[in-house]
Amino acid sequence: MIGTLLIVSGPSGSGKTTLCRRAEAAGLTCYSISCTTRPPRPGEQDGIDYHFLTPETFAAKVQAGEFLEYATVHGNSYGTLKADIEKLLLAGKNVVMDIDVQGAASIRACTDDIIRKAYADVYIHVPAAELEARLRGRRTDAEEVIQLRLHNAAMEDARRGEYQFALVSADKESDYTRFTALLSTLGMRTCLA
CA distances from 30 to 20, 41, 93, 101, 127 (A): 8, 22, 7, 20, 28
Q: Which of residues 61-80 bind ligand 5GP (CB under 6 A)?
A: 69, 71, 73-74, 78-80
Tell which one of 86, 100, 121, 175 touches ligand 5GP (CB under 6 A): 100
Region binding ligand 5GP by CB under 6 A among candidate stretches 51-59, 82-90, 92-100, 157-165: 92-100
Tell which one of 18, 21, 38, 134 touches ligand 5GP (CB under 6 A): 38
The 3-state DSSP class for residue 123 equals strand
Burial of 92 (0-12, 13-18, 19+ CB in 10 A): exposed
Of residues 69 and 182, the one with the C-beta less far from ligand 5GP: 69
- Minimum CB separation of residue 117 from ligand 5GP in Å reads 21
CA distance 133 to 182: 27
Of the candidates 13, 54, 17, which has an alpha carbon nearest to the alpha carbon of residue 148? 13
CA distance 158 to 155: 5
Could you say whether residue 157 binds ligand 5GP (CB under 6 A)? no
Could you say whether residue 34 binds ligand 5GP (CB under 6 A)? yes
- Residues interacting with ligand 5GP, by CB under 6 A? 12, 34, 38, 69, 71, 73-74, 78-80, 98-100, 102-103
